[in-house]
């Protein structure tokens, strides 16, 4: 199999919770974007062969100011497997991660298949069954989260876990752009944001994802979820803590990290 060495290095880094240097440094001539996709897709195929199912996708670096500050040419995406999804209120061990960080996001539940490039916000909203409050817990198999752009794709967009509130709100009469969220750690407010922080409109992140998947002969299928990017600054989780994301309309999502 192509890139077998890179695949095994990333799989071992995740299973052993031991980060590695950038995959680009391990590949002669550096890592192309196509090679990065091949590596990630091969890892996901292995998981599916072992009984795992794709639940949906995460879109990363949807905050344009943050993306530009980091010098990234575009946003990123990764796959969410069924076993990566947690219910709100769960305890989760820090030992399951390398260097986790938490984000407050609006999650889309897709009700109709979405295929193609250049989809409009209206098309995405029409295909959306509902939206819900969510946390994304990101983790990097690459040391210190530092790597060239293609490596984000090779490492599945730094996806690790998703925490869902479990409540899906219909879009009628709901202003996604003005939806506010405040992140609390141990009851103390640490950051806040609103819907427009994700590509100017969270549905635009879904459309972007559909376009990127279309380039690879894929689409977003009915029943899948899409995490549309953080509305708050990404926050490191470096000690046992209880986190709460309180949304103005979508309710709360909670998770507690334990030793």
Query: Where are the domains positioned within the chain?
Result: 4-258
Stated length of the chain: 259
Classify domain 4-258 at the CATH topology level. Answer: Fumarylacetoacetate hydrolase; domain 2 (3.90.850)
Q: Measured on CA atoms in the order 79, 206, 176, 195, is the torsion positive or negative? A: positive
Distance of alpha carbon 206 from alpha carbon 156, whole angstroms: 17
pLDDT at 1 over 90: no
Report the predicted TM-score, pTM, of the whole model to 2 decimal places: 0.97
2's tokens: 């192509």
> What does the angle CA 234 – CA 35 – CA 233 come to, to the nearest 5 degrees?
5
Asked if residue 104 lies in contact with residue 232, where contact means CB atoms within 8 angstroms, the answer is: yes
Give pLDDT tens digits for 10-55: 999 999 999 999 999 988 888 999 999 999 999 999 999 999 999 9
Q: CB-based contacts of 168: which residues, under 8 Å, 6+ apart?
A: 109, 129, 130, 131, 132
Q: Is pLDDT above 90 for 129?
A: yes
pLDDT digits (tens, 9 = 90+) for 150-203: 999 999 999 999 999 999 999 999 999 999 999 999 999 999 999 999 999 999
């Amino acid at each position: 199999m192509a890139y077998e060495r890179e695949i095994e290095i990333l799989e071992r880094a995740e299973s052993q919770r031991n980060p590695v240097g950038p995959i680009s440094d391990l590949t002669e001539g550096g890592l192309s974007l196509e090679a990065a996709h091949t590596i990630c897709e091969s890892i996901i195929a292995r998981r599916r062969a072992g009984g795992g199912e794709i639940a949906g996708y995460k879109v990363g670096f949807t905050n344009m100011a943050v993306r530009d500050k980091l010098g990234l040419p575009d946003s990123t995406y990764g796959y969410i497997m069924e076993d990566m999804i947690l219910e709100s209120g769960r305890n989760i061990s820090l030992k399951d991660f390398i260097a986790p960080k938490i984000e407050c996001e609006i999650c889309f539940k897709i009700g109709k298949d979405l295929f193609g490039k250049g989809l409009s916000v209206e098309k995405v909203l029409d295909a959306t069954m509902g939206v819900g409050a969510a946390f994304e817990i990101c983790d990097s198999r690459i040391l210190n989260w530092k790597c060239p752009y293609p490596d984000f794709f090779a490492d599945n967009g730094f996806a690790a876990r998703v925490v869902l509130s479990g409540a899906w709100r219909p879009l009628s009469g709901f202003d996604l752009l003005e939806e506010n969220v405040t992140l609390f750690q141990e009851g103390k407010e640490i950051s806040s944001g609103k819907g427009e922080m994700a590509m100017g409109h969270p549905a635009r992140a879904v459309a972007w994802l559909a376009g990127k998947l279309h380039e690879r002969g894929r689409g977003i299928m009915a029943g899948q979820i899409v995490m549309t990017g953080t509305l708050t600054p990404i926050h490191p989780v470096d000690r046992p803590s209880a986190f709460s994301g309180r949304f103005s309309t979508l309710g709360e999502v909670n998770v507690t990290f334990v030793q």
